[in-house]
Each structure stands twice: as structure tokens, then as C-alpha cells.
Chain A
């Protein structure tokens, strides 16, 4: 026994000290990853390049003169502006280049981080969770081969993106968009992407589930964004805790500092080392924590369809509610600084006059509500597509072979998704309102903001309703439901920066929500959206009651 233990320990030490064996098969796996992602990677690269280069081109149209750019600088210099863009140091010389660094870089960094996290999780933990990694690892494939192959592809994709962005931006030949700056601009993306690929490399070691690993890593992406938003609107120190903040601290096109990018790369190196050590301490398919035994019996509540659905949705629901609460608290805590910015900016007063003489706090709050609603729409689509996931994974058939009707089964999931979506949104509104009320010493803000948040609920239901409709009629195309949150983000958030025409906003359900608390409350659109959501859901249920399970 002890001899065997010693041998296995020695074997473990040998394999973890980076001998070539631990990497055996990496080359083959890299080709395999590229083969599986032959559509995904080009699609990501194309989307991110088009987004960036297109934004730069549209800036040139929107702000053709130095005066127009200076006016934009003044609006963007407000706390609301900096929270959704970047640090004020970019505003000193607001040319087309510094506008990119200020307004576009922060969001693009989130998207690049998203791409990198999903890519790493997909080729590591997701493979383990499905058991495919076991099959692969049983052949001549080393302990670290999966992880390293995924990271190499993620790094190469990020470097490719950097070159595409540099070429695309420099190729525009616009004033202020220099070649040197464009190279740095691309490099900031690659650095953020590589850092979050390494974050995912660690999170995939910790949990047994791909969803949990992506969830953890994406929470850190969100946290990085919130930290830089709070830092940029306030003292600035918090931004230095965020990889996205580091990317913006290059002051690309303004000062072109390269050294802040050493920070994300150093973090990536440290995280990679941690990931490799962690992966040698666990079994294939296992997480770091041993799973503990659970209940030997199911409670009566669990066997109720709604109880079962609630249990299955619990993690996602709590995760999103807490995330929205934290986000709301973060934005609420800077409200006092927002208010202090008020006086004496002509451009601002003009802008505010457009939305019916609302206060600067109200217009800031309206913008934050849009952000909260877009994030909640991600929850509602995830939750609304849960029945499809259950069907795909083969867990529905034995359930529907009991006395559980199809309608009850779907309805229980939808009830949790729809009520849960409202609660998640309310959590954001309350977190925002309560901290706002505290810092501004105005208790009325709590109800105002909570009400403003709830005004988005019918639009969220429409978003969820589209997912249900697809599930009922075109289950294979259910992922198309992601179009709505994506479009909601593009039209509602980027549209504000890029000044999209009004009809583009109206294509999104969120475009019909009154911009509370800045705008006047209007009940009619809310009733119409609720009715539309009900129709979509009823339509989806009808489709589902007619089709076979796992048949289409």
C-alpha cells in the first residue's frame, strides 16, 4: 500500500514538473480546437473588428469638427458619461482616436474577455464535463495538453484580433488615429483577452461544471467593468484593480503608454501557473472540492413541478440577483459625485432639456436602468431556454412519462424564469435606489428607482417570450433568442454613444420602455408589452404541445 502510494506520488511529481509528457498531444489538440471553432473564431474576429472599425468610422461622421468633439467631451465628462465610457484623461485632447480609447475600449474589452472565457471553458471544462476529455486523455495526451491547447488558441486569436484592429483602424486614415496608437489599441484588446483566458484557466479547475466555470470567470469580467466604472467616476484608484482599467490606462491615442499592459500579462502568467498546479491536484472530471453527500429523500416540495423548477433554477437566479444587487449598489454609491457635477455645464443642460428637464441624477439613473435591464435580459433568456436544455440533456422524457403534463412542466419553468427575471431586475433597482437614497439623503429615491426598474419587466417578459416561442416551434433554433439581449445592448447602450436613429431603438422591446425616472411615466407601452409577452408565451406553449420531444 505504502509502496504504491510512493510510486503514484512520484509519478505525480514527475508529471507535474513540466516534463514533455504532460504536454503530449498538444499540437494535435490545437488543430482539433481550430477545427471545432472554424466558424466561431472567424465570427468573433469579424464581429469585433467590424464593431471597432465601424465605431471609428461613425465617430468621424458624428463628430466632424473639433467643436462637435469638444461638446461630446463635456457630456462624456460627467460621472454618468465616465461610468459608461472611460477615464477623463482622454478628454484633454478629444480627437477621433482618443474618443475610441475613451468610449469604445471599455466595452470592447468586455466582449474580448467574454470571447476568451467562453473559448477556454468550451475546450477544457466542457470537454471534461461531457466525458469526452476522458476519452481523449486515455490516448497519448498529456495532463496539461487540453489546457495549454485551449490557451494557445485563445492567445493566438487575441493576437490575431490585435493585428486586425490595428490594421483596420490605421487603414481608416482618420485624424488622430495614428498607426502607433492603433497598434497599441489592438494590443490592449489582446492583453485583456489573454488575462481573462487565464482567469478561465483557473476557474475551470475549481468547479465540475462548464456553466459554473464560465459564470465565475464572467462575474470577474463584470466586476472588472464595475471597478473601472466606479474608479473612473470617482477617485480613480479602483480602476487600477481592473484589467479593463489597465487597458484604458494606456491612454491610447493620447499618450500611448505601453507599460500598463505588462500588468494583465503578468497576471496571466501567474494565473497560468496557478491553473497548472491546481490541475495536478485534482482528478479528470472532478473539481477541487469533493462533492458531499446530499439528502437521501426528496421533499414533497421538490416533487411539486414548481419546486423542482425552482431548485433547478436556484443557482442561476441567486447568482444574477446578487450580481445585479452589487451592480446597483456600485452605481448608487457614486450618485453624490454625479449630483456634484451638476452646475454650470451648458451642453449638459441642453442635453437634459431634451429629456424633459430631468435632473442629472435622474438621467444618470435612466442610463443605469438600461444597463441593469440588459443584464437581466441575459438572465431571462438563460432561464427561458432552460426547458430546451433539459430536453437536450434527455431529462424531460422520464419526467413527462410521469403524470406531469407538458404544460405544467413548461409553465413551472417559465414561472420561475419570468418571476425570477422581475426579481433580478428589482434587486438591481433596489440596490441602486437604497445606496442612492443613503448617499443623497433622499428616501424617496428608493421607490422611484425600484419603480423605474420594474417598468422594464414587461420588456424583459417579451424577451423571455421570444425564447419560449422558439422553444415551442423551432427548438433547434432556440439560441436565436439571444438576438434580443444582443440587440437590446447594441441599440439601447451603444446606440446612445453612437447616436442611432430612434427607430432602431424601437425595434428592441426595451426601446418602448419609458426612460424612468428621467421621462414621464407612461402605462400604455407597458400594457402593450405585457400583452405581447403573453401572446408569445401562449404561442410557444401551443407549439410545444404539438411537437415530439427531442424529435425536431
Chain B
């Protein structure tokens, strides 16, 4: 896909805050019509990337295009075509939620009153309450309704469901899937992996200011391990010696192990030679994908905690 056809294209983006290198060469490509998941733990650089894409921060180096324009120089023109939901919505204490929604939506330009009312209803949001009286989840809903009711091509959502209850999260997912069906493009930053797995066509994983993985869920899965549980006629004792097999464990005549995608064929061949009685194989969950990149952080944190 050429650079101009992409709705968001970012290459080698660098942003430093004093000595801290928040973005260290980020590359990101979002194609029209896709829901793109942007994954990473707190502090990895998700929000900083998004704030550069919105022209709120100026990048120190690299290249960023949003909707074909420069996010810093052409901010206003581009913002007519996109809507943004921050992860922590701060409202004016003395304006009602309804007023805030309308302020955001009207300032953006095109705005569908009927859809706004319908969304208020769906998200069970009382628009007559003052900003200061809303809970975190309700403030989040104000921003979501304002964004979804806007007639825009691109939604930039930065952990939009932080603080929403599971029911609202489901309603949010439905609304995003409807928008996707209408051809809207979405950049969804999140660390709710199930949500990303359900909604996103393509995924980019960011770590320490760098994209460490990018592609469709299938592509990413292909790069990583499959979990296999098998029951064989003869005990599968020497699996650990096979290339690409990890953590085999034998229990109750079942063997469970993970295997790298490129060694799946030979490993199953080996099991076959032992006489397969039953075989369950499932692709890696997003959580496993994610943990593969953050595994060392996790084990460090755990050993730190136990010390």
C-alpha cells in the first residue's frame, strides 16, 4: 500500500521530554477502513504518539501524516475529519454533559443530532448533569458519545473504555463494529486485550517507545507459538529435545507444550509417530503475544516483588 493511501502513516517518530526518550523511532501505518489496535503497557508511548498525531505535541524527528496532512501544520483542517477520545476525560465542572458533547461535536463541524440522542440512550448517559457530578465512567461516555456522533472519517481513541463497566464496554464494542461496517477508520489504543482481539483488524505493539510487532492477528500468530495438548499411545518423553518446542509437561498421560509456528509440522509428525489419541491445538491468544514481548518485564517485576 502506498504512503498516500494510508490514513495514518508514521515513520521513525522521535519525541523526547528532557532526558526521557518517550518515542524512539515509532513506525505506524493505518489503512482506510481498518480498526487498528495500538497495544502497550502504561508509559510505552501510546498516548505520546497519539498526541503527536493530533498536533498537540511537536515531534523532534521523524515523519507523521494523518489523513494525508501534516498533523502539526494542518491541525485544524485535519481535525474536521477526525474525532478523539482521551483516556482520562476532564470536563468543565459547571457545564452539563450534554453541553460538553455539543461543544465538542459542533466545534468539529458535522454532527448528527439524532445519532447523538440515540447514543446517549444506548450508553445510558444523563446529559443534564453537571460535569463535576459525573463519575469517571460517565465522563468517558460524554467523550465517546461526542466522538461517535460526529461525522468524521477517523476515530482516534486512547483507552476509551477505561472506567466503563463490562456492559458499557460491550455497547462500545458494538458501536465500533457498526462504525467499521460504515467504513470508518479507527485507531484504538487499549490494553484490554479481549477488546482488541474482538475489534481490531490489525495490531501494533509498542514497547519503550518502539513498535515491536505489527500486523494482523493471524500474521502475529504465525510469528509465534501454538499451544498443543495431546494424548499419545506411547508416552511423549523426549519432546524437549525437538527444535522449537517449549515447556513440555507430562501429566496424566497428556502432554502440553508450546511450539514455534515453523516447527509445528515436524513436531506433530513426531507425535504422530507416537500414536495420537487426541489432539487439541489452539493459536496463541493475544495475551500470549503480548506477554512474549513483555515477559522479561513481568519476570523482573515478579522477582523484584519477591525480593
> Could you tell me if A399 and B99 are in contact, using CB atoms closer than 8 angstroms?
no
Which one of B122-130, B195-203, B243-251 contacts A? B122-130
Given A297-B102, A298-B99, A400-B90 contact (CB < 8 Å): no
Q: Are A397 and B86 in contact (CB under 8 A)?
A: yes
User: Chain B contacts of A315 at CB under 8 A?
Assistant: 94
Q: Does B213 contact A (CB under 8 A)?
A: no
* Chain B neighbourhood of A302, CB < 8 A: 95, 99, 102-103
Q: Which residues of B contact A208 (CB under 8 A)?
A: 93, 132
Contact residues in B for A403 (Cβ distance below 8 Å): 76-77, 79-80, 107-109
Question: How far apart sit A547 and B101, CA to CA, in the bound complex (Å)?
Answer: 27
Q: Are B96 and A296 in contact (CB under 8 A)?
A: yes
Give the residues in chain A near B93, CB-CB below 8 Å: 208-209
Report B154 CB to chain A, min CB distance, Å: 11
Give the complex CA separation of A403 and B81 in angstroms.
8
> Which chain B residue shows the least CB distance to A551?
B57
Whether the pair B89, A398 counts as a contact (CB closer than 8 A) is: yes
Question: Could you tell me if A398 and B104 are in contact, using CB atoms closer than 8 angstroms?
Answer: yes
B92 touches A395 (CB 8 A): yes
Could you say which of A298, A393, A404 contacts B100, with CB atoms under 8 Å apart?
A: A298
B106 touches A300 (CB 8 A): yes
The yes or no answer to B63 lying at the interface (CB within 8 A) is: no
Q: Which residues of chain A have C-beta atoms less than 8 A from B80's C-beta?
A: 403
Residues of A within 8 A of B102 (CB): 297-299, 302-303
Cβ of B43 to closest chain A Cβ, rounded Å: 16
**A182 → B minimal CB distance (Å):** 46
Interchain nearest-CB distance for B71 vs A (Å)? 10
Contact B54 A405 (CB under 8 A): no
Q: A397-B56, A403-B80 are in contact. Are A294 and B128 (CB under 8 A)?
A: yes
Among the 9-residue stretches A305-313, A432-440, A485-493, A508-516, the one with 4 or more Cβ atoms under 8 Å from chain B is: A305-313
CB distance from B277 to the nearest CB of A (A): 56
Q: In the complex, which residues of chain A have a beta carbon less than 8 angstroms from the beta carbon of B17?
A: 551
Which chain A residues in 144-183 approach chain B with CB under 8 Å? none
Partner among A305, A401, A404 whose Cβ is within 8 Å of the Cβ of B156: A401
Residue pair B57, A549 in contact (C-beta under 8 Å) = yes
Chain A residues closer than 8 Å to B13, beta-carbon distance: none
Q: Is B208 an interface residue (CB 8 A)?
A: no
Known: A295-B128, A398-B84, A402-B108. A548 touches B56 (CB 8 A): yes
Contacting pair B54 A397 (CB below 8 A): yes
- Is B271's beta carbon under 8 Å from chain A? no
The answer to whether B91 has its CB under 8 Å from any CB of chain A is yes
Q: Is the CB of A402 within 8 A of B51?
A: no
Instruction: Check B107 against A305 for contact (C-beta < 8 Å).
Output: yes
Chain A residues positioned under 8 Å from B109 (CB to CB)? 403
Q: Is the interface of A mostly helix, strand, loop or mixed?
A: loop
B96 and A295 form a contact (CB under 8 A): yes
Contact (Cβ within 8 A) A293 B128 = yes
B88 at the interface (CB under 8 A from A): yes
Q: Is the CB of B51 within 8 A of A397?
A: yes
Contact with B along A186-216 (1 / 0, CB 8 A): 0000000000000000000000110000000
CB of A400 within 8 A of CB of B54, answer: yes
Bound complex: CA of A386 vs CA of B191, how far in Å?
34
CA distance A58 to B229 in the complex (A): 92
| A139 within 8 Å of B (CB atoms) | no
- Alpha-carbon distance A270/B101, docked complex (angstroms): 45
Evaluate contact between A297 and B90: CB separation under 8 angstroms: no
Q: A208-B132, A401-B156 are in contact. Are A296 and B98 (CB under 8 A)?
A: yes
Chain B residues with Cβ below 8 Å from A293 are 96, 126, 128-129
| Alpha-carbon distance A403/B156, docked complex (angstroms) | 14
Expressed in whole angstroms, the minimum distance between the Cβ of A462 and any Cβ of chain B is 29
CA distance A45 to B191 in the complex (A): 50
In angstroms, how far is the closest chain A Cβ from the Cβ of B99? 4
Chain A CB within 10 A, most for which of B17, B56, B91: B56
Query: Scoring A residues 472 to 488 as 1 if CB is less than 8 Å from chain B, else 0, what string do you get?
Result: 00000000000000000
Q: Does B143 contact A (CB under 8 A)?
A: yes
Residue of A nearest to B53 (CB): A401
CB of B133 within 8 A of CB of A298, answer no
Instruction: State the Cβ distance, B33 to closest chain A Cβ, in Å.
Output: 21
- Whether B234 is near chain A, meaning CB under 8 Å from some CB there, is no
The residues of A that contact B85 with a CB separation of less than 8 Å are: 398
Cβ B75 vs Cβ A303 within 8 A:
no
A549 touches B56 (CB 8 A): yes
A394: interface (CB < 8 Å): yes
Task: State in angstroms the CA–CA spacing of A317 and B301 once bound together.
Answer: 52
Known: A395-B91, A397-B54, A398-B86. A297 touches B98 (CB 8 A): yes
- Tell me if A296 and B128 are in contact (CB < 8 A): yes
User: In the complex, which residues of chain B have a beta carbon less than 8 angstroms from the beta carbon of A296?
Assistant: 96, 98, 127-128
Q: Does B58 contact A (CB under 8 A)?
A: yes
Contact digits for A288-331, partner B, Cβ 8 Å, 1 yes 0 no: 00010111111110110100100110010000000000000000
Q: Contact: A548 with B58, CB < 8 Å?
A: yes
Q: A residues 377-430 with Cβ under 8 Å of B? A: 393-395, 397-406
Which residues of the other chain, A, contact B77 by a CB distance below 8 angstroms? 403
Contact between B51 and A405 (Cβ–Cβ < 8 Å)? Answer: no
Contacts of B90 in A (CB 8 A): 393-395
- Complex Cα gap A320–B19 (Å): 44
Q: A298-B99, A395-B90, A398-B143 are in contact. Are A405 and B75 (CB under 8 A)?
A: yes
Q: Given the complex, which residues of A lie within 8 Å of B92, measured CB to CB?
A: 312, 395
- Residue numbers in A under 8 Å from B89 (CB-CB): 398
Q: Which residues of chain B from 20 to 68 have a CB within 8 Å of any chain A CB?
A: 51, 54-58
What are the residues of chain A within 8 A of B101 when measuring CB–CB? 298
B107 x A402 contact (CB < 8 A): yes
Cross-chain contact A303 with B107 (CB below 8 angstroms)? yes
- The distance from the CB of B159 to the nearest CB of chain A, in whole angstroms, is 14
Q: A400 contacts B96, CB within 8 Å?
A: no
Residue ID in chain A nearest B95 by CB atoms: A311
Whether B56 contacts A298 by the Cβ 8 Å rule is no
A57 to B163, CA, bound (A): 61
- CB B189 to nearest CB in A, in angstroms, measures 14
Interface pairs (7), CB distance under 8 Å: A291-B132, A293-B96, A297-B102, A303-B103, A397-B51, A398-B143, A548-B51
Instruction: Pick the 7 closest A-B CB pairs, nearest first.
Output: A298-B102, A303-B106, A401-B84, A293-B128, A298-B99, A402-B107, A548-B57
Known: A315-B94, A403-B77. 8 other contacts (CB 8 A): A209-B93, A297-B98, A302-B95, A305-B107, A399-B104, A401-B84, A548-B57, A549-B56
Residues of A with Cβ closer than 8 Å to B?
208-209, 291, 293-300, 302-303, 305, 308, 311-312, 315, 393-395, 397-406, 546-551
